[in-house]
Amino acid sequence: MSAVEVEEVIDTHHEHVNSGMARLMRLLNVGIEVSADGAYVLDHSGAKYLDCGGYCVFLLGRRHPKVLSAAYAQLESVSLGSRLLINRQQAEAARCLAEIAPPGLSYVWFANSGAESVEAAIKIARLNGKKRFVAMKGGYHGKTTGALSLTYNPKYREPFLPLLQNVEFVDYGDAEALRSALRDRGEDVAVFIEPIQSEAGVVIPRKGYLKEVERACREVGAMLIVDEISTGLGRTGAWWYCMEDDVVPDILLCGKALSGGVVPVSALICSAELYRAMNINPLIHTSTFAGSPLVSAVVKATIDALRELDAPERARKLGSRIVSGIEAILARHRFPFVANVRGRGLLIAIEFTDESYAGEFLLEMVSNRVIISHSLNAHAIARLTPPLTLSDADVSLLLTAVETSLVSINTRYFQEEWGQV
């Protein structure tokens, strides 16, 4: 693909997709994604990038053989169902997901995106008498109207006001603030929480906090909805990070990795009791494409593949190795613009002293052929969300790129020599 053809693609984006994003494409000077396999993505020039971005989607990497095989086989028979005849694949996928869910959560509602599963949770909360909502400062649950009502960042909320009413935000990590919010008619409330705030820059709560949140909800009869869309399915070193505090929510949300890196999908999982209204009236909340045979076949194959890999254990070990490697780099150089590195499993954050350095780091990493992610609610934090499939060589490449990128920034702004404080 020539430079002229690349410009034509960007021009088409500018004219028909989003002109602002087209300007950003030109500014970043990134290539056109043409293929992907395993942990790598190739652009139009043939450049090969290690993919440690993707916002928690590619836990199995790209084109995982088991997932692709299931997708191809389903495409050869029925990809989208009639919605009248029985969808066997949906039933099997739901059963597989329920088998790894926290105890007591047995009903599954599939959606097409994380935000859609949040919308479904809002509806089920209302069907069960919950008319008020408490969410966390710094939290991110999506950008559809209901999900945005529970997302804290004013930059995303204010252009679309008014949103849902009766939503209160409390400090994340402060169980007493939650108790205070639940003091008046807490039985009318549904509480939304992420066990780790991913888009806020991988904010990891202290041990015991999530259990205190659960206890506060149980004391007054509030509903607890845990959003594990980014953290679930093994990425953080546990099938569900809330279970690290022995928390069993009323509703659990998952997505991202559930896709196998192949199809858009998310899911809501809850108890039979809470799902009762949906069972009584199956048409009360539906979606044309949700739970299609193709998506369901991919979901089942994805869960099978994650189980075969022992995803939580593998993520724990691999993530610990990467974080330790970055900590060694920081100890070696003591960069004045890096605050810290932290993570759980394969959800890792590098925090900078200013958001400009995070932006520079993302660009440097791309120039060193590694893709990472920024954080929507914390621009001074760069996130690494590598796949489970990284080899030893891939880990070495990642750590070398991190060190090279940080040294480049340090040289540019602080005139430090390699290895000096």
The CATH number of the domain holding residue 393 is 3.90.1150.10
Is residue 151 pLDDT above 70, yes or no? yes
Domain boundary among 277, 309, 341: 309
Confidence band, pLDDT 50/70/90 cuts, at residue 417? very low
Residue 301 sits in the same domain as residue 276: yes
Q: Which domain holds residue 232?
A: 65-309
Residue 186 sits in the same domain as residue 239: yes
CATH code for position 265:
3.40.640.10
- C-alpha 267/C-alpha 129 separation (Å) is 22
Q: What pLDDT sits at residue 332?
A: 97
pLDDT in tens, 281-299: 999 999 999 999 999 999 9
Query: Mean of the per-residue pLDDT values for the chain?
Result: 96
Residue 278 sits in the same domain as residue 294: yes
Query: Is residue 191 a contact partner of residue 125, using CB atoms and an 8 Å limit?
Result: no
Residue 17, token pair as written in the block: 């997709």
CA distances to 116, 151, 153 from 143, in Å? 10, 8, 11
Q: What pLDDT sits at residue 258?
A: 98
Residue 58 sits in the same domain as residue 107: no
Query: What is the residue type of 123?
Result: K
- Counting the structural domains of the chain, the total is 2
CA distances to 10, 237, 332, 347 from 254, in Å? 33, 15, 38, 15
- Residue 258 placed within a domain: yes
Residue 153 sits in the same domain as residue 247: yes
pLDDT in tens, 106-147: 999 999 999 999 999 999 999 999 999 999 999 999 999 999
Phi-psi region of 108 (alpha: psi -120 to 50; beta: other; left: phi over 0): beta
Section 6-28 average pLDDT: 90
- Residue 5 placed within a domain: no
Section 271-280 average pLDDT: 96
Q: What is the pTM of this model?
A: 0.95
Is residue 3 pLDDT above 90, yes or no? no
Q: What percent of the chain has pLDDT over 90?
A: 93
Q: What pLDDT sits at residue 264?
A: 98
Q: What pLDDT sits at residue 184?
A: 86
Query: Is residue 140 a contact partner of residue 126, using CB atoms and an 8 Å limit?
Result: no
- Residue 230 placed within a domain: yes
Residue 36 sits in the same domain as residue 78: no
Evaluate the omega torsion of the peptide bond into residue 336 and state whether it is cis, within 30 degrees of 0: no
Residue 290 sits in the same domain as residue 337: no
Residue 242, phi then psi, degrees to nearest 5: -60, -25
- Residue 16 placed within a domain: no
Confidence band, pLDDT 50/70/90 cuts, at residue 6? confident
Is residue 416 pLDDT above 90, yes or no? no
Residue 159 sits in the same domain as residue 180: yes
Section 225-235 average pLDDT: 98
pLDDT in tens, 315-356: 999 999 999 999 999 999 999 999 999 999 999 999 999 999
